[in-house]
Each structure stands twice: as structure tokens, then as C-alpha cells.
Amino acid sequence: MQDKQLALAVQLHDEETFTSYHGETNNNAVVDLQRFIDRELGDVNSLYLFGNSSVGKSHLLNAAATYANEKGLTALCLSLSELTTLSIELLDGLESIDVICFDDIGLIASDQKWQQAIFDLYNRVVEQGKLIIISGNETATGLKLTLPDLVSRLSWGLTLQVKPLTDEEKMAALRQRAAQRGINIQQDSTGYLFNRYSGDMKALIACLDKLDTLSIQSQRKITIPFIKEALPELNA
């Protein structure tokens, strides 16, 4: 079991904390996640977090794991987009971890084997008195999972909805991400990116990271002319 856990010893993203999650729209969700980890929300061991693909659920899951670490707890944050390429045996023994987070549960909607494996781990986590947080893009009943028992488990504990951020909150998050990475980008350039991606935070962050790499390679600042040259697809 130790070897399997070592294989899953992924690095948490230091910049994705509760403090760096911008805006007031989801303050209640942030507070409730903290209180859940602090066990201040009653005798519950599971939490289901849902919202559309650009509201920052991955950020919040990583923040929850980081917060648990700061409290002296063991924690693991895993994306099912990566995990499902591996063996389900990697889930064996994970119930010994204090806080386990799974991102994008909807990705296994057509995979009965992985649904059963998550369901079994869910039960073991609850039996051991540990905590599990799972995220998805829809409500538990709207995920189109084919294992009714897993849908039932997701509905058992606490459910938090992450609401869409305002445009101002998204821009603030993008600027902070740039500052944390030491990326020199002008305000008009962030506005240009924002307008091209319609506020899709995942796409915005990925684009920013790509521009950072290209600007370092070319030793140029990230300006609108540079963006147009580096990412011609934005001009289409």
C-alpha cells in the first residue's frame, strides 16, 4: 500500500489556496470547506462540490488539501482525468489519508469499473472516519453516472454549489496568477486575453502559462502584439 501511495504523491499547487481564490461570490463555499475539514459542520465525512467547468472547483479542491496539510492532516488531491489511465488498485489503502479529494467525477460516467472503485473507497473512508471531497460539473443526479449507489453516496453528505465568478473576479484572479508566477503582463493584455476566451478561467490560465513559456524563450514581454504573434488562433 505504501508503494501505491508513493505513486500518487502528486505535488499540490502552492498558488491554489483559499486565500488566492478571488471574489465574494463563493465566500460561503470557501468557509464551509474550511469548516468541513475542521469538522465544524456536524458528523459528516463527505462533501460534494459542483459547478460549471470555469468556476474554480479544481482550485478549491487543491486549496482544501493544502488547508488540511496546514492543519497537520494528511491530504491528497487527485484528478480523475489522470487517475483513470492507471489501475484502480491505486485506490487501495487511500482510506488511511485524512482528507482525500477527487476532481471531475463526471469523467467516469461511462466507466462502471471506476464508479464501483470510487464507491468502495467512499465507504471505506466513511468507515475509517476520514474525509472525502468530490467535485463534478452537475448535481449528483445530473451526472449521468450508471451506478445508482454512487449517486446515492454523493447525495449523502454535504453539497456545495460553486457559482460563476463575475468578470471582475475573473480578471483579478488572472492578474494574481500572473503576479504569483512573476509574469510581466500589461493590463490591456489581460483584457485582450479575457475578451478572446469569454471568461473561461481554465482556458485563460492555460493560455497565460503558455505565453509565459513563449515569452521566456523569445525574451519578449507579453504585449498584445506578442500575443497575436504567439497565438495566431486568437485572431481567427
| pLDDT (tens place) for every residue of the chain, 236 residues total | 444 443 444 445 556 888 888 778 899 999 999 999 999 998 899 999 999 877 889 889 999 999 999 999 999 999 898 887 888 998 999 999 999 999 999 999 999 999 999 999 999 999 999 999 999 999 999 999 999 999 999 998 999 999 988 888 888 878 877 887 788 787 888 888 888 876 677 778 888 888 989 999 998 888 999 998 988 877 65
Q: Determine the Cα–Cα distance for residues 125 and 100; give it in Å rounded to an integer.
A: 9
Whole-structure pTM value: 0.80
Strand partners, 103: 79
- Inter-residue contact 194 to 204 (CB < 8 Å): yes
Question: At which residue does the C-alpha cell 470547506 appear?
Answer: 33
